[in-house]
Amino acid sequence: MGKAMKDHLRFAVAYWHSFCWPGLDPFGGQTFERPWFGDDMASAKAKADVAFEMFQLLKAPYYCFHDADVRPEGADFAENTRNLQEIVEVFARKQEETGMKLLWGTANLFGHARYMAGAATNPDPEVFAFGAATIKTCMDATHELGGENYVLWGGREGYETLLNTDLAREDQQLGRMLNLVVEYKHKIGFKGTILVEPKPQEPTKHQYDYDVATVYGFLKRHGLENEVKMNIEQGHAILAGHSFEHEIALAGALGIFGSIDMNRNDYQSGWDTDQFPNNVPEVALAYYHILKNGGFTTGGTNFDAKLRRQSLDAEDLLMAHVGGMDICARGLKAAARMLEEGSLAGFVEDRYKGWDAPEAQAMLKGEVSLDDIAARVEAQGINPKPRSGRQEYLENLVNRFV
Ligand code: GLO
Ligand code: NI
Ligand code: NI
Ligand code: NI
């Protein structure tokens, strides 16, 4: 593989699940007690101390955060901005001291009640404005901290019922918001990548950024396909009825692969369970497609994973990340060995043979019509024999490398 393992994995710790998640679910409240929980500036700073201490223990090179994870909630936009700025100064100092880097920043446009009906797609233009202003502040913070990407997960951009929803209008609003983000990125000279994170449902019944294919159509519609890439999450791929590697491979094929949110939804999950990864063959297939696509350029492996409600001990948080890193390292090694061994490339080459021929190229390039093709098939007596696919052999291959 050349580079050291961790340079390929580019691990990041997610601030929200690690240091803010209190162990609640829709049926019960907080189960965790942490000394740094609290909604004032002193708690936010205590949280930053413990977060950077853990980042260093893990030797994770990166972290990621939402504004609302790291600063106390202010009474208005101006106070939010001041609070965030105070924390950005703390983070800048800590990055300097520890060598930790920011993989990406993002705005939480889903937690506060004002975003109950969405942010960019909210029917109220003042919510759109408040959301846009908040994104600006978070992009400034990300830029100041040398963030390598900026992420937009469409928190509540979706609908609860079509009967009160104007789909065309909401698509236009969402497209305008993303264009504002891209325009601002260029204005301030932010060199990082803008990433959209698809998810099919939860918290809304239907999320607009459903999956990679849907978001690609959206980007094309709004002229953004060369400006925006994807942050792909394992659990979201499963909820959309795909596999993680499907979403990664498709983004690679469309030229919009960016980064991953690593976690695990297993076959029983009906919602985003955000477990830490625990299945090496699955992880190996994901990294196989990432490596095949050239590896991470600006993205990385962000653990968007949280402790189970019963994991009361803070030590579990450290162990969960250690275990997750181990699973990813094993998956990456297996993926690299699959690529090195090379038999898959041979199978693929074999499977598509024949397309180099001039007649085949003419079909692909649109130089011949259906009439021309039919005439040639008849004249040459073309009558293809079935080709062997070796599915069973191929799908077992990964298990020989894990
Ligand atoms: C929720 C998402 C969420 C995002 C985060 C960063 O399901 O996975 O955690 O990753 O808001 O954009
Ligand atoms: Ni995520
Ligand atoms: Ni998620
Ligand atoms: Ni999450």
pLDDT surpasses 90 at 251: yes
331's CB contacts (< 8 A; 6+ apart) are 277, 280, 281, 282, 283, 284, 286, 287, 402
pLDDT tens-digit map of 194-219: 999 999 999 999 999 999 999 999 99
Residue 1 has what pLDDT?
Answer: 55
Helix ranges, 342-386 (H): 343-351, 358-364, 370-380
What is the C-alpha to C-alpha distance for residues 101 and 304, in angstroms, rounded to an integer?
Answer: 17
Q: Which of 106, 115, 304 to mutate to test the pocket of ligand 1 (most atoms within 8 A of CB)?
A: 304
Residue-wise pLDDT for 302-349, tens only, equals 999 999 999 999 899 999 999 999 999 999 999 999 999 998 999 999
For 226, phi then psi, to 5°, come to: -100, 0
pLDDT in tens, 352-400: 999 999 999 999 999 999 999 999 999 999 999 998 888 898 889 999 9
Is ligand 1 within 6 A of the CB of residue 110? Answer: no
Q: How large is the ipTM?
A: 0.97
Q: CA 156 to CA 202: how far, in whole Å? A: 8
Per the annotation, the verdict on 186 as an active-site residue is no
In the structure, what pLDDT confidence band is assigned to residue 2 with cuts at 50, 70 and 90? low
Phi/psi class of residue 327: alpha, beta or left (left: φ > 0; alpha: ψ in -120 to 50)?
A: alpha
**Centroid of ligand 4 to alpha carbon of 320 (angstroms):** 15
Mean pLDDT of 265-289: 95
Global pTM reads 0.97
302 Cα nearest atom in ligand 1? 10
The closest-lying atom of ligand 1 relative to the alpha carbon of residue 272 is 7
Q: Which of 258, 186, 260, 184 is nearest to 228 (CA)?
A: 258
Inform me whether the pLDDT recorded for 272 exceeds 60: yes
Q: How far apart are CA 366 and CA 330, in angstroms?
A: 45
